[in-house]
C-alpha cells in the first residue's frame, strides 16, 4: 500500500519536475526577446503618436489609474511632447493606447498598440479616420462620443473606451507633466 503510494508520489513529482524544467527553459530562452518586442512596440507607438520627436526617453512616473508608461519626446534637445500610454476598458478587454500630447496640452496623434476588440467592428479603432478625430483635441473639448467624436457603427463601447482613454491621458498630462 505504502509502496504504491510512494510510487505515485514519485511519478507525479518526476512529471512535474520535467514539466517545470521544460517551461523554465522556454521562459529563459524567450524572456529577452519578449521584453525587446514589448519595448519596440511601445517606442513604435510613441513614434506614431508623436511623429515630430526624434528620440524618446522613458519618463519615470507613478502609474495612475489606467496610465502606464510615459515617454518624453525630444528633438534637437527640446521637449516636443509626451507619449502617454493608457489602457482604458474596451469591449473585449483593455485597449492599449499611446497618446501623443504636445506641450500645450493638445493631442498630436494616437496609436492603438494592443486590443481585444472584434475585428471589423471595435477593431476599426485602428483605422486612420477614427484616430485622426482626436488630433488637436484638448481638455477644452467635450471628448464625448456622439458629440464631438464619431463612434464606429456597431462598436460604441470600443469608441467610448478610446475616447475615455484619451481624456485620461490628457488629464494625466495636465496634472503631472505640464510645464516639465
Partner 1 sequence: MEDRSLWEEFKKGIIDENPLLFMMIGLCAALAVSTKFENTLFMGGAVIFVLVFSNFVISLIRNTIPTEMRIPIFIVVIASFVTIADLTMQAYFRAAYKRLGVWIPLIVVNCLILGRAEAFASRNKIFKSIIDGLGMGLGYTFAILLAGFLRELLGTGKIVLFEKTIISLGSYDPARIFIMFPGAFLTFAFLIVLINWLRGVK
> Contact residues for partner 1 (CB under 8 A)?
4, 7-8, 11-12, 15-16, 19, 22-23, 26-27, 30, 33-34, 37, 41, 92-93, 114-116, 118-121, 154
- As given in the structure block, the three cell numbers for residue 81 are 511632447
Q: Which uninterrupted H or E stretch holds 170? A: helix 156-172
**Rounded to the nearest whole angstrom, what is the least distance from the CB of residue 29 to partner 1 in the complex?**
8
Rg of the chain over Cα atoms, rounded to whole angstroms, equals 22
Distance CA 76, CA 28 (A): 39
Nearer to partner 1, 20 or 57 (CB): 20
Q: Three-state SS for 150?
A: coil
Q: Which is nearer to partner 1, 19 or 139 (CB)?
A: 19
Q: Using the minimum distance from each CB to partner 1, give the nearer residue, 68 or 81.
A: 68
> What's the closest the beta carbon of residue 117 comes to partner 1, in angstroms?
10
Q: How far is CA 7 from CA 19, 62, 77, 80, in A?
A: 18, 52, 68, 67
Shortest Å, Cβ 169 to partner 1: 20
Nearer to partner 1, 79 or 121 (CB): 121
Phi and psi angles of residue 81, each rounded to the nearest 5 degrees, phi first? 150, -175
Least distance to partner 1, CB of residue 145, Å: 19
Amino acid at each position: 500500500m505504502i509502496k504504491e503510494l510512494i510510487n505515485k508520489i514519485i511519478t507525479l513529482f518526476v512529471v512535474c519536475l520535467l514539466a517545470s524544467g521544460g517551461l523554465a527553459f522556454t521562459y529563459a530562452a524567450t524572456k529577452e526577446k519578449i521584453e525587446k518586442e514589448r519595448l519596440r512596440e511601445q517606442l513604435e507607438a510613441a513614434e506614431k503618436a508623436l511623429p515630430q520627436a526624434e528620440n524618446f526617453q522613458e519618463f519615470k512616473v507613478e502609474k495612475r489609474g489606467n496610465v502606464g508608461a510615459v515617454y518624453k519626446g525630444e528633438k534637437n534637445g527640446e521637449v516636443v511632447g509626451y507619449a502617454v500610454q493608457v489602457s482604458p476598458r474596451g469591449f473585449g478587454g483593455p485597449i492599449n493606447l499611446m497618446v501623443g500630447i504636445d506641450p500645450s496640452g493638445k493631442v498630436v496623434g494616437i496609436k492603438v498598440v494592443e486590443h481585444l476588440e472584434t475585428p471589423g467592428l471595435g477593431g476599426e479603432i485602428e483605422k486612420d479616420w477614427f484616430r485622426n478625430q482626436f488630433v488637436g483635441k484638448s481638455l477644452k473639448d467635450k471628448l464625448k462620443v456622439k458629440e464631438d467624436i464619431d463612434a464606429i457603427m456597431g462598436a460604441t463601447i470600443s469608441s467610448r473606451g478610446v475616447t475615455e482613454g484619451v481624456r485620461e491621458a490628457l488629464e494625466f498630462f495636465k496634472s503631472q507633466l505640464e510645464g516639465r
